[in-house]
Chains A and B, each alone.
Chain A
Amino acid sequence: MSATIASRAKVRRWYQTNTGSEALWAYVFIFPSLLLLFIFTLFPVIAGFALSFTKWDLLQPWQFIGPDNYIRLSQDEVFHKTLGNTIYYTVGVVVPQTALALIIAAALNQKVRGLTFYRTAYFVPVVTSTIAIAMVWQWLYQAEYGVINSFLRMVGIEGPKWLFSLTWAMPSVIIVSVWRNVGYSIVIFLAALQGVPEELYEAAKIDGAGAIARFFHVAIPQISPAIFFVLVMSVIGSFQAFDLIYVLTQGGPAKATTVLVYYLYQNGFQWFAMGYAAALAYVLFAFVLIVTLIQWSLRRRWVYGESLDR
Chain B
Amino acid sequence: MSALLTEKAQRVSVGAVRAGRRLRIVQQALLHAVLLAGAFLMVIPFFWMASTSLKTLDQVFAYPPIWIPNPIVFQNYVYAMTVSPFHIYLLNTLKISVLVTIGQLITCSLAGYTFARMRFPGRDAIFFAYIATMMIPGQVTIIPVFVVMKTLGLLDNHAAVIVPFLTSPFGTFLFRQFYLTMPVELEDAAKIDGSSYFGIYTRIFLPLSKPALATLGVFTFMHNWNDFFWPLIMLNSARNRTLTLGLMEFRNLMFGLAEWHYIMAGAMIALLPILIIFMLAQRFFVQGIALSGIKG
Chain A contacts to B: CB under 8 angstroms: 7, 10-11, 14-15, 18, 21-23, 25-27, 29-30, 32-34, 36-37, 39-45, 47-48, 51, 58, 104, 107-108, 110, 112-114, 117-133, 135-137, 139-140, 142, 145, 147, 150-151, 153-154, 179, 183-184, 187-192, 195, 225-226, 228-230, 236, 239-240, 242-243, 246-247, 261, 264-265, 268-269, 274, 277-278, 281-282, 284-285, 288-289, 292
Contact = CB atoms under 8 A, between A and B. Distances in A.
B147 A127 contact: no
A29 B35 contact: no
A181 to B, nearest CB: 11
A177 B198 CA distance: 44
Contact of B196 (A11, A18, A27, A42): A18
Contacts of A274: 143, 147
A51 B135 contact: no
A288 B141 CA distance: 14
Contacts of A47: 144, 147
Contacts of A32: 106-107, 110-111, 166-167
B253 interface: no
Minimum-distance CB pairs A-B, first 3: A188-B293, A191-B290, A44-B144
Contacts of B52: 136, 139
Interface stretch (B1-9, B69-77, B224-232): B224-232
A26 B120 contact: yes
A110 B31 contact: yes
Instruction: Say which size band chain B's interface belongs to.
Output: 35 or more
B119 A23 contact: yes
B110 A26 contact: no
B247 A135 contact: yes
Contacts of B207: none
Contacts of A187: 286, 289-290, 293
Contacts of B125: none
B136 interface: yes
Contact of B114 (A11, A29, A117, A135): A29
5 contacts: A29-B111, A104-B35, A135-B49, A242-B228, A261-B229
Given A136-B264, A274-B147, A292-B135, A131 B48 contact: no
Contact of B197 (A10, A22, A33, A41): A22
B143 A51 contact: yes
Contacts of B35: 104, 107-108, 112, 118
Contacts of A228: 296
Contacts of A243: 228-229
A189 B35 CA distance: 16
Given A11-B192, A29-B110, A112 B48 contact: no
B257 interface: no
B242 to A, nearest CB: 10
A76 B148 CA distance: 29
